[in-house]
Amino acid sequence: MLDVDLADLYLVETKALNRAVTRNRDRFPADFMFQLTPREFDNLRFHFGASRSWGGRRYRPYLFTQEGVAMLSGVLRSTRAVAVNIEIMRAFVRLRQLLATHAGLARRLKELEKKYDRQFSVVFEVIRELMSPPPEPPKPPIGFNSEGKV
């Protein structure tokens, strides 16, 4: 995400966000955050139509990955950033609990499978299918259909 969009999300000014990043540069490695190249910046400027002399950005923006957004919420001092950081931590805890439960179920299922004979193999197979993530639904074709069907 662009720094300007994140500043809007966290209800801070872009320069305050970038200042916080500069003060905590060691918390933002290259896989958390990077800056647009001059060519990419020119393309972005052209895309949005910002002029060089009458406003618009004069500095290349920073872009943040998912990890950078999470780190940023811990560095900023706005009320909104604190709330986002708390929700991120709660989500991590819930995910860890879910994974631990899933691993426990898989271990228990293996134990039961060893204990019981072949007559229950179908049951174990169905349980395994229920534990696996659902397949993604097929995507509809893109483009014009000459037969007039939708």
Q: What is the pLDDT of residues 54-74, one digit of tens each?
A: 556 778 889 998 888 888 888
Integer Cα distance of 8 and 11 in angstroms: 5
CB 81 within 8 A of CB 8: no
pLDDT for the residue 90: 82
pLDDT for the residue 140: 75
* Chain mean pLDDT for the chain: 78
Q: Which two tokens stand for residue 75?
A: 């560095």
- Give the residues of the chain that fall short of pLDDT 50: none
3 state SS of 63: strand
CA angle 68, 70, 74 (to 5 degrees): 105
